[in-house]
């Protein structure tokens, strides 16, 4: 890992740079696949599934028999764990419900806001080296609570043309209405335009590699909303001498094993802690089945020493981490002053893994610094707010003159007339 001591503020952006390609590096490839999918639908999905996933499929849709088979292949212990996580996620997201907000802004003028579900949503679930069935819980559970009527899931098949049984079991458990065996750029394009198999959706959710991230951004050009530009995973740990070095190292490695383009950072006010964590990372790394992936991610990672809590929090807010662990004696200071983070984990016994799976919070979070302006996925992500107003005779008299004056000042005579006619009818 790269050790950096007291970096100058002028160098922070360079020090904190993510190991990601730019949109320009990938955009040409994405646009090409989008055009093909828009033109030829399932034929192109199958073409790229054969090219990227090394399997030729006649039918991209998961069948009922495949779902039933998956149920028998998932252990009872794992089913119980998934159901526990689902319950906690439901509790937390149900608590986010809000009712109708209504107010009389002026005499005779009633305004209110109500929320409605987004009718058609698409969920992208990464497969590949790690089949993230936990992400289905994070997306399908709030979608179901919100009342989305169509929940479409896309995930890349293995080289036998199958999806991981845990993905199928969890999708069925959470009310997914259609499961499609397709991944990558072509899956995002399919949900954007609709094909013979994939319905067109109104909003796309879910993490993915850099290609999926850029594909989601391109999808917005075609009128499809996205949750956020969520790309390769990242974690920042703030630790002082009160932290447990073994715990900190385990958290860093838990994110590093996601992929070679993941980034993990330790910020500390203790040089001794930095040294201890570095040793622990090397020791724990050797026992990981995915150690080669984690090792490459660790090469992109940083151990940063700063002199003070204030310097540390300023650096953290500049980075805007997706996942952020606070293990510090002065934790209240960091909690109060954190402005930019996707999800925050506090104390020595709150691993980031808890939020990934079963604490109840959502693990679909903004990466690449987008925590400065994006929220993580929550119940409102699957809903939109609609405003209503009702004005009676007294109300139009109350605000009518102001509307006439403002419309006239903007040169919009028809706007003014719409009010004038009503006011005249009441004379």
Residues 6+ apart with CB under 8 A from 335: 326, 344, 346
282 annotated active-site: no
Helix/strand/coil percentages in the chain, nearest 5: 50, 15, 35
- Contact predicate 124/229, CB 8 Å: no
Q: How far is CA 190 from CA 159, 193, 224, 232, in A?
A: 21, 6, 12, 22
Q: How many CB atoms lie within 10 A of CB 195?
A: 23
Q: How far is CA 80 from CA 138, 142, 156, 360, 365, in A?
A: 17, 20, 25, 15, 25
363 is an annotated ligand-binding site residue: no
233 is an annotated ligand-binding site residue: yes
Of 234, 278, 280, 322, which is the active-site residue? 322
76 is an annotated ligand-binding site residue: no
413 is an annotated ligand-binding site residue: no
381 is an annotated ligand-binding site residue: no
CA–CA separation, 187 and 198 (whole Å): 9
Of 234, 323, 352, 363, which is the active-site residue? 323
Q: Number of helices (H) and strands (E), helices first, in the chain? A: 17, 14
83 is an annotated ligand-binding site residue: no
162: exposed, middle or buried (C-beta count within 10 Å: 0-12, 13-18, 19+)? Answer: middle
Q: How many CB atoms lie within 10 A of CB 64?
A: 8
In terms of Cα–Cα distance, which of 289, 282, 265 is closest to 369? 265
In terms of Cα–Cα distance, which of 224, 185, 229, 142 is closest to 47? 185
Q: Which residues pair with 324 in a beta bridge?
A: 236, 344
353 is an annotated ligand-binding site residue: no
410 is an annotated ligand-binding site residue: yes
Residue the block writes with tokens 């996580």: 85
CA–CA separation, 167 and 164 (whole Å): 5
93 annotated active-site: no
Instruction: Give the annotated binding-site residues for substrate.
Output: 233, 255, 258, 323, 356, 410, 415
Instruction: Give the annotated binding-site residues for NAD(+).
Output: 124, 186, 209
Instruction: Give the annotated binding-site residues.
Output: 124, 186, 209, 233, 255, 258, 323, 356, 410, 415
* Residues designated catalytic: 322-323
């Amino acid at each position: 890992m790269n050790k950096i001591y007291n970096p100058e503020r002028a160098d922070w952006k360079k020090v904190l740079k993510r190991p990601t390609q730019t949109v320009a590096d990938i955009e040409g490839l994405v646009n090409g696949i989008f055009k093909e999918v828009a033109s030829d639908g399932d034929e192109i999905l199958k073409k790229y599934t054969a090219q990227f996933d090394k399997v030729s499929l006649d039918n991209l849709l998961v069948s009922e028999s495949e779902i039933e088979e998956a149920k028998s292949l998932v252990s009872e212990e794992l089913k119980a764990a998934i159901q526990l996580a689902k319950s906690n996620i439901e509790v937390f997201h149900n608590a986010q419900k809000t009712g109708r907000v209504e107010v009389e802004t002026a005499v005779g003028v009633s305004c209110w806001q109500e929320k409605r579900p987004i009718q058609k949503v698409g969920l992208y679930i990464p497969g590949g080296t790690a089949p993230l069935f936990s992400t289905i819980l994070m997306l399908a559970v709030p979608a179901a609570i919100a009342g989305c009527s169509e929940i479409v899931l896309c995930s890349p098949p293995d080289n036998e043309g199958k999806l991981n049984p845990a993905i199928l079991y969890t999708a069925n458990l959470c009310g997914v209405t259609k499961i499609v065996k397709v991944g990558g750029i072509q899956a995002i394009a399919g949900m954007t335009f609709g094909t013979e198999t994939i319905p067109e959706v109104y909003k796309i959710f879910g993490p993915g590699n850099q290609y999926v991230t850029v594909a989601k951004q391109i999808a917005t050009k075609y009128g499809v909303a996205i949750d956020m530009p969520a790309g390769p995973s990242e974690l920042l740990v703030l630790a002082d001498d009160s932290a447990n070095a073994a715990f900190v190292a385990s958290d860093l490695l838990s994110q590093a094993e996601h992929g070679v383009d993941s980034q993990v950072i330790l910020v500390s006010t203790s040089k001794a802690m930095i040294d201890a964590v570095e040793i622990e990372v090397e020791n724990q790394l050797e026992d990981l089945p995915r150690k080669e992936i984690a090792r490459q991610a660790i090469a992109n990672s940083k151990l940063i020493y700063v002199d003070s809590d204030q310097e540390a929090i300023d650096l953290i807010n500049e980075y805007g981490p997706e996942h952020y662990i606070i293990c510090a004696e002065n934790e209240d200071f960091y909690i109060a002053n954190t402005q930019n983070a996707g999800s925050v984990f506090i104390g020595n016994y709150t691993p980031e893994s808890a939020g990934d799976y079963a604490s109840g919070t959502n693990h679909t979070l903004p990466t690449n610094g987008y925590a400065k302006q994006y929220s993580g996925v929550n119940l409102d992500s699957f809903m939109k707010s609609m405003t209503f107003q009702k004005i009676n005779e007294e109300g139009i008299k109350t605000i009518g003159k102001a509307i006439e004056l403002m419309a006239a000042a903007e040169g919009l005579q028809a706007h003014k007339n719409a009010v004038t006619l009503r006011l005249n009818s009441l004379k």
